[in-house]
Amino acid sequence: MADSKMAVSQWSSDFVKELLPAAEKTALLYNLSYLCLANFPNLERLLRSRAVETQLLFGSSDAAMLKCILTSKNLVESLFPMLVTAVEKNKPLLAVNYLGKARVWIKDIIKDVDRIVEKYNLHNKDVASSTSDVIQEKQDTDKKITKQDHELKQTEKTVGDLNSELQKTTKELEETEKKINRKSQEIQEFARSISKKSKGLGIFAAIVPFIGLLVQSIYGAIKDPKNRAQIKALEAELNRFIADKTALKRKEWQIQLQLIDWQMKAAKASFERNSIPDPIHLNEVQKSLTKIQAILIQLKNFWENVAQMLDHLEQKTFVGENLIVDLAELKDEFLESIKTAKEAWSSFGEGCKKASVLFKLQTKDAYKFLEVSPSSFSKVEWQKEYVSVKKRLENIDPPQRVTTSGTAAISE
């Protein structure tokens, strides 16, 4: 069953935990940008139009999530029961037909997500263009201002220091991500070596593309104590890297909060001097949109990998007379794999439902601030709104640590 070209797709139903803070940050950072552009009506209108475009984009993202939900449901309620029937009746050609239907569903999702990703790409360019427009108008306005006070200079220095610290932390986070990927690949290689000796495990790996469940299944398949010790050691190393990633994520977020606070201080100082502030929050909007786009790209890649594994399952299990005999011999292992696959895909579908709800809320409620022009605020009202948005930003939590078993780790 195993093939050296096969790999377990790394994906979790908890992907919405990465999606949620990025989407929430996008709306709140738009809100801060909107506040900072008070008394500059042309820029207000420009920002409002970009924010509305983001709302519409989230609506399109919700539609893609709904298709993922329906496909996961079809896998659980239609494909897997039909595969069970085909196996029980020893009808491999019927199974091939069912797998062909699943490929059609999945290719349709891949096309939809691809279109959404391209929309994010174009929209991010529009936001970048808007940022350039703000910068240009700021330059024109700031020609009238030649003197900066000491407080503003000190604030800008602090912003610079925080930016340097953030870059350092982000680099550490990237290195940790690489370690996680390398260790996950090492586990996958080990799984493939074990699956060569266990056809049942090979089938399991093909239809349950979640690394945590794969690790658990390996424990059951390994008889050699040395191999059991090796997989435990690999899993422990992977969980340690995941813990490091969680700590760095939190550190990164705390620095970002400090940075946002100091950037707002600089913005307020410019605001008091009737100068257009730097469009720092629009830059952060682009980063959040890029984060969401990256998650959707991962989702697309996940479905592509699933499609490849279904092809592999068809070719290696349901095609060829010799393998038909193997199928009869492996009936119990196959049926057990189907049972686990149904549970895993049901969990994945629930994750997609949460993502759908998230996009709906962002489309409906998160941009109500656009209904009121910040130019209409008094200084007291402006400050009150700023404090409110800042508090909501501080309440956004980075994703909780998740181990290979798929459960949140207990805080120490």
**Residue by residue, what is the 3-state secondary structure of 169-188?**
HHHHHHHHHHHHHHHHHHHH
Are residues 375 and 310 both part of a single domain? yes
Domain end marker among 222, 257, 275? 275
Is 129 or 15 the better-scoring residue by pLDDT? 129
Quote the distance between the C-alpha of residue 99 and its chain's center: 28
The pLDDT tens digits for 28-85 are 988 988 888 877 788 888 888 888 888 888 888 888 888 888 888 888 888 888 888 8
Q: Is residue 406 part of a domain?
A: no
* Residues 188/211, Cβ–Cβ less than 8 Å: yes
Are residues 244 and 171 both part of a single domain? yes
Are residues 89 and 29 both part of a single domain? yes
Where do runs of H (alpha helix) occur along 80-91?
80-88
Structure-token pair, residue 314? 């068809």
pLDDT at 21: 83
Are residues 302 and 333 both part of a single domain? yes
Q: Of 204-208, 287-291, 304-308, 399-403, where does mean pLDDT reach its minimum?
A: 399-403
Q: Using CA atoms, how far apart are residues 386 and 401, in angstroms rounded to an integer?
A: 31
Structure-token pair, residue 45? 């209108």
What share of the chain has pLDDT > 90, as a percent? Answer: 5
**Does the structure show a pLDDT above 50 at 323?**
no
Range 210-228 average pLDDT: 70
- Strand, helix or coil for residue 408: strand
Are residues 85 and 63 both part of a single domain? yes
Backbone dihedral angles phi then psi of residue 377, each to the nearest 5 degrees: -80, 145
The pLDDT tens digits for 392-405 are 888 886 655 444 44
Domain with 271 in it: 163-275
Is 292 or 14 the better-scoring residue by pLDDT? 292
Are residues 175 and 270 both part of a single domain? yes
The dihedral region occupied by 275, where left means phi > 0, alpha psi between -120 and 50, and beta the remainder, is: beta
Are residues 137 and 284 both part of a single domain? yes
> Which range in 169-173, 211-215, 347-351 is most confidently predicted, on average pLDDT?
169-173
Q: Is residue 157 part of a domain?
A: no
Q: Using CA atoms, how far apart are residues 249 and 317, in angstroms rounded to an integer?
A: 42
CA angle in degrees (0–180, nearest 5) for 288-289-292: 90
CA angle in degrees (0–180, nearest 5) for 89-94-97: 160
Would you place residue 91 in the very low, low, confident or very high pLDDT band (cuts 50, 70, 90)?
confident
Would you place residue 326 in the very low, low, confident or very high pLDDT band (cuts 50, 70, 90)?
low
Quote the distance between the C-alpha of residue 167 and its chain's center: 21
Domain end marker among 243, 259, 275? 275
* Residues 130/46, Cβ–Cβ less than 8 Å: yes
Q: Is residue 248 part of a domain?
A: yes
pLDDT at 175: 93
Is 141 or 341 the better-scoring residue by pLDDT? 341
Q: Is residue 4 part of a domain?
A: no
- Strand, helix or coil for residue 406: coil
The pLDDT tens digits for 330-375 are 677 777 778 878 887 888 888 888 888 888 888 777 888 888 888 8
Are residues 168 and 270 both part of a single domain? yes
Backbone dihedral angles phi then psi of residue 286, each to the nearest 5 degrees: -60, -40
What share of the chain has pLDDT > 70, as a percent? Answer: 75
**Does the structure show a pLDDT above 90 at 244?**
yes
Q: Using CA atoms, how far apart are residues 357 and 278, in angstroms rounded to an integer?
A: 33
pLDDT at 167: 92
Are residues 297 and 375 both part of a single domain? yes
Domain end marker among 275, 296, 320? 275
* Residues 42/137, Cβ–Cβ less than 8 Å: yes
Number of folded domains in the chain? 2
Q: Using CA atoms, how far apart are residues 27 and 6, in angstroms rounded to an integer?
A: 40
Q: Is residue 284 part of a domain?
A: yes
Quote the distance between the C-alpha of residue 233 and its chain's center: 28
**Does the structure show a pLDDT above 80 at 121?**
yes
**Does the structure show a pLDDT above 50 at 1?**
no
Range 93-120 average pLDDT: 85
Are residues 134 and 18 both part of a single domain? yes
Range 79-93 average pLDDT: 82
**Does the structure show a pLDDT above 50 at 324?**
no
Q: Can you list the pairs that 244-248 forms with residues at least 24 positions away whose Cβ atoms lie under 8 Å?
A: 244/176, 244/179, 245/173, 245/176, 245/177, 245/180, 245/401, 246/398, 246/399, 246/400, 246/401, 246/409, 248/169, 248/172, 248/173, 248/176
Q: Is residue 407 part of a domain?
A: no
pLDDT at 402: 44
Structure-token pair, residue 252? 């990164």
Are residues 291 and 367 both part of a single domain? yes
